[in-house]
Each structure stands twice: as structure tokens, then as C-alpha cells.
Structure 1
Amino acid sequence: MRLVLAAVLAMAGAASAAYAGNCWPPTAQLWPLPATCTFGSGSARLPASCSDLAFKVDAPAGPGLATVNAAVARLQTALFGKPCSAAESAAAGLSTVRISVASTSEWPPRRPGSTIEAYTLDVSEAEAQVAANSTAGALHALRTLSQLLAPSASGASIDGLPLRVVDVPFYGHRGIMLDTARHFLPLDTIQRTVRAAAASGMNALHLHLTDAQSFPLEVPSLPLLAEKGAYAASARYSPKDLADLTSYAGDFGVTIIPEVDMPGHAYSFGLGYPNSTANCPGYAHNINNIPLNPAVQFTADLVQDVLGALAAAFPGELVHIGGDEVVLGCWSEDASVQRFMKENGWTSTTQVLQFFVTQADAIVEALPAGDGRDAVARALGAGRRRPVHWQDLFDNGVKVSPNSVYQVWRSLDDVAPITAAGFDVVASAEDSGWYLNCGFNTGCAYSSWEQVYQTNIEAAVAPGAKGKLLGGEAVLFGEFANAPAVDAQLWPRAAAIAERLWVPTAVNNTDVALPRLTAHACRLQAMGVGSAPTGPGWCDEAAFVPFA
């Protein structure tokens, strides 16, 4: 197994440096584009019966082993209509798929990209061989294999044999943000987004769970938050819903990043617990103006319980606690906040914001890991969890934990000063076109897939701070994105962003990408995802293996 690890790492390093640009197999359209490929002129056909195709997984015991086996079962179902356990096969043609995984222990990942995602895929006329360092790499390899296959009633075929794919993503964090507060999104909509994200090479789903408009998150110790703050009893997420969603996403290699936006955008908190939000009549005409009230102990206890509920459902390292668009003037009108400022000798409401953020960061970093690594984290003297903030706090001069991650949403120009200050950054800047809700709501323009594909986030990083840019996210705020609208607003543009994060910046020719993205949009449709098209045409959904 160590030889597999060394070989994959060596080839991944070469792939990352090279990107030969030759990954156009004779009949398949791969998305995202792998790093390097070689193809021959042969072909093979898989058996028509599931019992004649042997999948052999060679991996050490670990939590990721079940994930690999689940992916194998999904591929069998996509090919044969059902999962099956195949014995040694003597069938003619390509009858064996061998999957070697060096380690399955680091699963689910602590954060998107925290495991090495490199893989190699070798296919001859007799067998396919996968070598991966991690569970994530094995999932990527199976995705690429599925995209190379052309299904038919007599057994799927594959051309270009013998072939080799050596692949590794350029950025570790490749995600989508969904807003479940402006419009409640049912679990099946979120699960469908998970599948489409995985099929497109993404590994993170950032859930903007709460905002001024609604609070759909059930917190057992604070029942009125959802009872009063959700749109309806049927528009809530129970703790079991969230735990099940975490497990579901993990099977597809997707880590969920939960966000409870605070202290701004907090009007919905106050629907259940009015003493948790500030009282500012001069700002009450717009619910987006209402922040939490940091002057009362109840608010600190509420934040502790809400973040504790997130920790119970989501074991990942990153916990997003917002920080954007806090209307400081509201605190100037609230008598309790003004008394609190006087007691502390503060002269600016920015100091109130600093007080809140310092408390919230400490709460996040003290949250239990939920995955058995708490003792190790404490022994290392580091918090298991990391707070994520929108960039506004940096812009306002608020000090955050050095362990924090910033999400840049205004402009790519803001990446440089934040990375220069030593913070890790996730890019989703509105001026990059990665706010996919733009054009459906007012205030910002629609961006085509070509525009988002050609965005150069790498150039935005401060000199010497390249490693501080973790990756990026496609953002879909939900003012005009209810469940029926989500798919077409996301796809295929989110897939273009996925490849932008998978390949180096120099790989950016939209004419070359167009036929592959057109095919991928059809592939998503074959998976039951309502992707928009790239232009006029027709999708033969039967030509694709619907696998993620």
C-alpha cells in the first residue's frame, strides 16, 4: 500500500506541474478535465451482466472503506440497475475493476481538500485499475471511469485503450453555497445538489442556514427559534435531518459547512426570543438591519446552544458564523447596548462587534469535534474547529482568531490584503461572477458560464501567500431561488466553476471546454438534475452513465 501512495503522490506532483492538455478521449467528454491522460486505439466492452464484472477493493480498514464500497454499489446500479456482489469473473472483455486505496482513515475529511485527492486510472482491454491515496481520490477515479463508459443494452463500451489518467485537483476547497433561509429547500433538493456537485468534481456544500427571513434550524434547547422563526412547521430541519444529510453528503465525498449568520441578519432569532435581538425603531423598516444584542447574557447562551447544535450535526472543521453587513447604527439606538458600552468604557459600536466576534470565535474553537479527535486536538493545543467569516469583519478592522478562514464576497481585489495578513481565504467574489443569483435578483449582473470559467482567482493572492487561497465557492443566494429554480440557476455554471478550481488557471479556453460542458450538462440531466443547457441542442440521456 505504501508503494501505491508513493506512486500516486509522485504522479500527482507531475500532473500538477504539467497539465499536458491531452485529456480528450475518442468518444467521451470528461468533466472536470484531468491533469494528464494517454490513450491508445483499442476498445473493450464490459459484461452485460453485473455478476460478470468483478469489483475488487484493496484498502485498509477505516471509516472511508464503507464510502468506497457505497460508491462501487452506485456505479453498479448506474450500469446494471442494481448493486451486486460479483465473484471472480471469467467473462470475456473488461471484466475486473481493481481499486487500491492507501488510506481510508481520514474520513470524512476534516475540511474540504484536507486529504490528498490524487489518483491514477489505468484501463486495458481486460481490466481497470484505480490507485488512490485516499477515499476522496478513489471517488474521483470512479467518477472519471464512469464518464469514459458508453452504456448500451449489450454492455457498456470504452474506447481509447489502453488508457491512463493521472489526476489531482489544483485547489482543495471546491464548493457551492446554498441559501436555505430566503427560501426553504427540501432535503431532496439539497441531496440532488450534493450529487451534482460530486459529479462535477466539487467537495464542499456551504449551507447558509439562517438569515433575517427565516430560522429553519431546530435547536432542541431553544425550540422557539424554529417554531416562530421558520416559515412553517414543514419548513424546518430537525437534528436527524441534518445528521442524515451529513452522512449522505459524506458518501459522495462532500463536506458540509454550516453557516448561522450573525450578529447581523438576525431578525429571525428575535421572532422566537425577542430579547436576543437589538431594539432600534429607526432601523426596523428593514428586517435585514436587525442584529443580535450582545449586551445581554441570554444572547451569549443562545449562540453557545445554536453552535452546539451545529457541532452535533456537522463534524467538519469549518463552522461559518457570518459577520457580514452588520448595521452598527441599530446598536446606537438600543438602550441596553448603550449601557453596556458605557459600562465597558467603549465609545464605538465597532467595539461591540469586536466583543461579539471574540466570544463567537472562542465558542467555535471549543466545540467538540464529533469524530473522536477531540483529545488529539487538545493535546496539540489547537481548536478542532475553525470559524469562517465573511470578509466584512476584516474590512471593519475587527480582530478575529488567527485560526479563522475568511470568505471574500465583494471583490477579488480583497483577496490580496487578507492573504497578506496571514489568513486562509475562500474566494466567491461577486465581481468574479461566482454569485450565480446575480441577474435573477437586482443589484448585480448575470454571468455566463464563459465568464465564470475564465475567472483568475490565482492572480488575486498576495505575493508569497499562494497557499493561503484554499479555493472557492459558487454562491446561490435564495431571494429568487426556491426549490424548483435551484438546478437551472446553478448548473452548468457551477460545473464551470468546479473545473476552474480543479485545473490550473492557464487551462481556460472556452471553445475547447464548450463541447465537454455541453455533454456534462446532459450528464447531469441523466442524473435527474435540471441543468440549463449551454445552447441549442438535444440531450441523449441514454448516452451517459448517471453516476456521482
Structure 2
Amino acid sequence: MKKNISIWLLCEAILYEDHKRGLRMKHYDLKRALLIFSLFCIIFFVVLFWQQNSSVDEVAQLFPVYKKVPLIRKERKLSYQPQWHWHCNGKHCERQRITAGVPAVSLWTCSMSCGSTQLWPQPSGPVTLGSRTATFNHEQMVFKSEARDPAGTLIRHAVEIFKNKVLDYVQDVNYTAHETDVGKILVHLHVRLPDVAKLRLDTDESYHLTVKSKTKEIYVNITANTFFGVRHGLETLSQLIWWDEYSKNGMLRMIKNASVKDYPAFPYRGLMLDTARNYMSVDTLKRVLVGMSANKLNIFHWHISDSQSFPLILPRLPKFAKVGSYSPDMTYSPEDVKDLVLFALVRGIRIVIEIDTPAHAGSGWTWGPDENMGELAVCVNKQPWMLYCGEPPCGQVNPDNPKVYEVLETLYKDVLDMTKEDELFHIGGDEVNLECWQDSLSVATQKKYGDFHDLWGDFTLKALDSLKKANGGKVIPYVLVWSSNLTKRPYVSKYFNKSNIVVQSWGSSQWPDTIDLIQDGYKVIISHVDAWYLDCGFGRWRETGDAACDPYRTWQTVYNHRPWIQQGINKKQVMGGEICLWSEQVDETSVDARLWPRGAAFAERMWSDPALDMNTFSITEDVYLRLNSQRDRLVAKGLRPEAMWPQWCLQNPGMCL
């Protein structure tokens, strides 16, 4: 609205300046100018009124106008004569020398119609892909949806995102001048439940995608119960499109006939990123979300604070970031968080912020005495650090100070307000050092607790009560906690209500923790350190103390981890899984390579959970080829994932395995 007022004032200013300069106009010219100006203003306000009333839903009003992007953002015309082309022998694409009189087929075109589906993650339901393909240009795609808001607005944004994905493939700015095989591609998007605008654990994310061709037209239908299913269908449709560099120096090409029925194996498909050890910009976080959406991951677990830094600006408690951030420009404002939440939502992702307590709370928690709140944390920067925490600097919340629970209530309220996430909430709760408390707390507390696990448990119950108050007196349906000594027997049943506490089990898959929790009736999110910790394998970052969790977790290790089968775990109590990237040795310059393509391997395990050879744990060639294709798509989106193998292996399918 401010922009609209500014335009009006600009018009007024122009007329005023003309008058000031004493410009003389004939009476007729003046009347004509005023008439034109009046018509302009009437049209302007009619358009403004229409825009203001075109959306009746609160969710729709949250979104800014989608910014148009340049149709072609890069140019890489084929400026050489290719030497190779590929021929499908029924199972593999074989590389051959280009010879006169033999039509040259690009590797992408051969791969998309030879053996493998090239879809990632592999769909859960039946897939039928035709072998016939057609060239087209992006201007020929027409999208249609009758969904009312809020799904209607979400779909419009998802369509713009889809268009950008298609444009990411384009490498020739002039390609639209070439004749295509089709005249129009009509994409029809159907949503049965248009009122569903928030992602929840019971949200139906399934979809049915069909592609049919008739003469010079292609008809695409994506049908789903919710917007989130439609979004996933668009993601799959984008994988049926590629850039064929051999066709007229480069053309977009797509499969002409297809049917895909698809749905996720788990409702919780998470990626955890730590931005406390090393700060990462909002743009970097958006890049992570882009990679997640391409792989149908749906939970971004944001470990936003730790003992090293507290970069989140809390509106009601600004001192946290003021004393806890590395610098004022290494912070996340409430506006940043809200922007990321909306950016994630239209990509089928929700954001869960974790502010870890009572451990991992040093920087940011030291302002209490200045505000007459007492010591909010103890053991901050205490030495020798290895006696009081797992890594420097140390720091734990002070359970002796009753003001702490008031601070937690306010802190939780700010997080709830910023994220609007009221179904899942992560309170941390791992790696409490009891020696820290024993050396720091009052004599009365020392006498009261013979076992400081009970002090830890009482703190957790009070923190949960603070969370309930922050949520208007309502219990959060699923409160997430890290596995710890407190989630072991006999403490777990004493302090954690299995009806709404979900334990994120991060210990080794060989430990009994996960199995014990499931046997005791708790729901779990699996993040086993020996399979799904992506920061491991880079050696120690300091000379003393344990910090390395070698070896490196390869994408094959990530992919092969299937504990609900390998360990006989009741799959119904596994809410899902989460890969974790702690940032002691990673920042925004290396985050892409640490996450991808390993994160994509994890995503397929969570989405369709394909069967494994339990005897050899060997991975089929199809998986290698499909994952490499997905890696190439991530590169096209501007990400920088790790290489999987020498390019020779890509050009010679079946020769490296």
C-alpha cells in the first residue's frame, strides 16, 4: 500500500513542479492532460481495489507479489561439434563415435528413455514412462487450476517455482526461435482439499501425475488431496524434462506419456542444520531449502543457537542476540525467519527452530545480572572445559534461578510467533554435564538431589510447562527432545509423557537406545550418528578431546541405513528420520558439498524406502544412475554438490560397477 501511495504522491509532485516552473499550456492541452491523468488514476484505483479483494484468505495475504525473473538467466550455446552420442541397447546407454548419417542422441535423451526411470526419489507407487519424447519451449506451457484460496495462492507460487526450474535447464538464449514438436503443453492442477494450507504430520502428500500426448499437444494432469501433493507432482514433472543439447543446438525435451502414483513412506523427513558454530546467511539457508524441496524432504530442523553463539533476534528478549551473536551482521531477524518460513512453505517444507537447553547454552545467556534477573547460565567459559562440557565453550542453563523459566516462556512465545509452527517443537535436551551443576549450584540444591538426573528431569518438566504457557495454555502435540541419559530407563518414563514426547535418537545404531524407546512405547525420529551424521569424517578440529566421528559417511552408507528392517524395529513408531549437519567444520562455502548428494540418498530412503539386498548390501546400477541425474539437477539449480564418480563412468553406464 505504501508503494501505491508513493505513486499517487509522485503524480501530484509532477503537476506541482510543472506549476512551479510556470509552464504555460493552452487551455485545450491542459484539459486533455487532466482528463488523461484522471483516467489513469481511475484505472489505477480499480486495479488496486481488485487486487486487494482478489484474495480472501489470511494465508494468501501473507505472500508478496511474486517477482518475475528473467526468462533465460544463462547462455551456453553448443559451440563445438560433439564427438560422442549414445545408443540404448535395451538396458544401458552405450557411448559411440558420431558418424555421418546416424542421428546423434544426447546422453540425457538416451538415459531418459533407456531402462531407468531417472526419477528421484523413486516413487512409492506404480510408474509407467513412455519412450517417446518431444521438444518444446517454456512459452508453450499453460497452467490451469480452479483451486480456491489458500491452496490457489500456494499453487500460483509453486507454478512460478516450477517455471524457474525448467528455465534452469535452458542453455541457449535463442532456443525459442526453433520449431518444436508440440504446439502446447496444458498442465492441469487439481486439489480436492483447498483449505489445507499448513503441513502437518497427518497431511496427505500423495499425488497422481499423468502425461498424455495427442497430435501436437501434451496434456499433464496432477491430482492430489492437498497443495503439498500437487507441489510434489510438479517436482516430479520437472524431472521428466531435460535439456537436449543435440537437438537444433539445444532444446527442452520431455517424456510424452507417463503415469506416476506416489506417496511418502514417512511423514517426518528432516534435515538438521546447525548455524550456531558457524553462521550461515539467509541466502545460504534458502539454497538448502531449494535442495530439500527437490528431494521431497519436508522438515527443516534449524539448530539456531548453541554455547558458541546465539544469532536469533528475539523481539521480547533482544539481549540474547546482542550479547550472543558473533557480530550484528551475523544475526537472524524476526523478518528473516518469517521470510524463510514462507519460502519453505511454498516448497512443501516447514521450519522447526531449536534453542537447545539446558546444555549448549553459553553465549547469549550472560545478560541476566545486568537486568536484575540473576545468573541465567552457569559454567560459561569454565576451564578446563573438558570437565564441564563436550566442546568449548561450556555453558548450561541455571535450574536454581526461577527467572529462567519466565525467560523460557517468553523465548518460546517468540519462536512460536515467528514460525507459526504449533504442532512440532524441539526443546533440545541433550548432553547435560552433571559435574557442571554439581560445582555451580546452591548447597540446598546439592542436598535436595541425590541424583542430579532428577534435577535435570525437574528442569525439563518446568521447561515443558513454560512451553505450554507460551502456547496459550495448550500442550504442543509433539515435543521433540534429543536422546540422552534422561531418555534412558528408569528416567524416561518418569519425566517424559509418551503421548506427546518424541525422542530424536541420535546415538549409534548399535546402541540399544532406539529399540528400548520403541519397546517402552515412545515414538522416535531416527538420526543415528553412524549413518546420518554428515559432519563426520573430517578429522579433529582441535588438538585435545574427542571431536571426530570417523569415518566419513558416504552416500552409500546413508542410503543403506534401514534400521526398521535391519534391527526389527516397529516401523509404526518411527515417525521418520533426519540427517544432521553440525557446523564445527562447515560454513556456507562448503555446506552444499556436505549435504548433497548424500542428503538426496537419505531422501529416497525416507520417501519410498526401497528394498535392499540384505545379504550383500550392494546398490544397483539404477540407483547410481538416478542419483547422478538428480545431482545434475541440483547443479542446474545453482547448488554445488559433491561429485559421485569420474565423468567417464557417467558417459559409460554399466562400466564402473
TM-score bracket for this pair, using the shorter chain length: 0.7 to 0.9
- Provide the residue aligned with 2:159 in structure 1: 72
Q: CA deviation at 1:214?
A: 0.6
User: 1:141-540 alignment to 2 at 5 Å?
Assistant: 141-151=233-243, 156-159=252-255, 161-273=256-368, 275-279=375-379, 287-316=392-421, 317-336=423-442, 338-342=443-447, 345-368=448-471, 383-392=475-484, 393-395=486-488, 397-398=491-492, 399-402=495-498, 403-412=500-509, 413-431=512-530, 433-442=531-540, 443-444=548-549, 445-459=551-565, 465-506=570-611, 509-537=619-647
Amino acid of the structure 2 residue aligned with 1:439: G
Please give the secondary structure, in 2, of the residue aligned with 1:245: helix
Change (3 A) 1:81 1:322: closer
Contact 2:325 2:364 in 1 (8 A): no
Q: Could you say which structure has the greater relative contact order, defined with CA pairs below 8 angstroms and 6 or more residues apart?
A: 1
- Provide the residue aligned with 2:72 in structure 1: none
Unmatched tracts of structure 2, length 5 or more: 1-110, 170-180, 370-374, 541-547, 614-618, 651-657
| Distance in 2 between residues matched to 1:521 and 1:139, nearest whole Å | 20
Q: Aligned residues, how many?
A: 487
| Distance in 1 between residues matched to 2:534 and 2:166, nearest whole Å | 33
Deviations 1:44-79 (A, max 9, x none): 343x352x42211132x3433322211111222333
| Distance in 2 between residues matched to 1:81 and 1:528, nearest whole Å | 8
| Distance in 2 between residues matched to 1:434 and 1:154, nearest whole Å | 39
Q: CA deviation at 1:156?
A: 2.7
Change (3 A) 1:293 1:49: closer
User: 1:41-52 alignment to 2 at 5 Å?
Assistant: 41-46=131-136, 48=137, 50=139, 52=140
Contact 2:505 2:525 in 1 (8 A): yes
Change (3 A) 1:507 1:98: farther
Q: CA deviation at 1:539?
A: 12
Change (3 A) 1:496 1:510: farther
Please give the secondary structure, in 1, of the residue aligned with 2:633: helix
Contact 1:284 1:290 in 2 (8 A): no
Change (3 A) 1:265 1:517: same
Change (3 A) 1:407 1:81: closer
TM-score, normalised relative to structure 2: 0.70
| Distance in 2 between residues matched to 1:471 and 1:510, nearest whole Å | 24
Please give the secondary structure, in 2, of the residue aligned with 1:205: strand
- Provide the residue aligned with 1:3 in structure 2: none
Q: CA deviation at 1:511?
A: 2.7
Please give the secondary structure, in 2, of the residue aligned with 1:483: coil
The more displaced of 178-187 and 296-305 is: 296-305
Q: CA deviation at 1:319?
A: 1.3
Q: CA deviation at 1:284?
A: 5.0
Deviations 1:469-498 (A, max 9, x none): 011111100000111010101110011000
The more displaced of 394-403 and 436-445 is: 394-403
| Distance in 1 between residues matched to 2:412 and 2:539, nearest whole Å | 30
Deviations 1:58-108 (A, max 9, x none): 32x3433322211111222333589xxxxxxxx944520011111132322
* Match for residue 33 of structure 1 among 119, 122, 147: 122
Q: CA deviation at 1:312?
A: 1.0
| Distance in 2 between residues matched to 1:101 and 1:25, nearest whole Å | 29
| Distance in 2 between residues matched to 1:526 and 1:253, nearest whole Å | 20
Contact 1:267 1:291 in 2 (8 A): yes
Change (3 A) 1:80 1:291: closer
Contact 1:225 1:273 in 2 (8 A): no
Contact 1:224 1:273 in 2 (8 A): no
TM-score, normalised relative to structure 1: 0.83
Amino acid of the structure 2 residue aligned with 1:99: L
The more displaced of 252-261 and 411-420 is: 411-420
| Distance in 1 between residues matched to 2:363 and 2:620, nearest whole Å | 43
Q: CA deviation at 1:118?
A: 0.9
Tell me the percent identity: 31
| Distance in 2 between residues matched to 1:470 and 1:453, nearest whole Å | 18
Please give the secondary structure, in 2, of the residue aligned with 1:523: helix
Q: CA deviation at 1:230?
A: 0.7
Please give the secondary structure, in 2, of the residue aligned with 1:458: helix
- Provide the residue aligned with 2:205 in structure 1: 117
Deviations 1:247-294 (A, max 9, x none): 111111111111111100111133333610125856656545421101
Q: Do structure 1's residue 105 and structure 2's residue 195 form an aligned pair?
A: yes
RMSD: 2.5
| Distance in 1 between residues matched to 2:261 and 2:646, nearest whole Å | 33
| Distance in 1 between residues matched to 2:289 and 2:162, nearest whole Å | 16
Please give the secondary structure, in 2, of the residue aligned with 1:303: helix
Please give the secondary structure, in 1, of the residue aligned with 2:605: helix
Contact 1:198 1:254 in 2 (8 A): yes
| Distance in 2 between residues matched to 1:328 and 1:409, nearest whole Å | 20
Please give the secondary structure, in 1, of the residue aligned with 2:589: helix
Contact 1:119 1:140 in 2 (8 A): yes
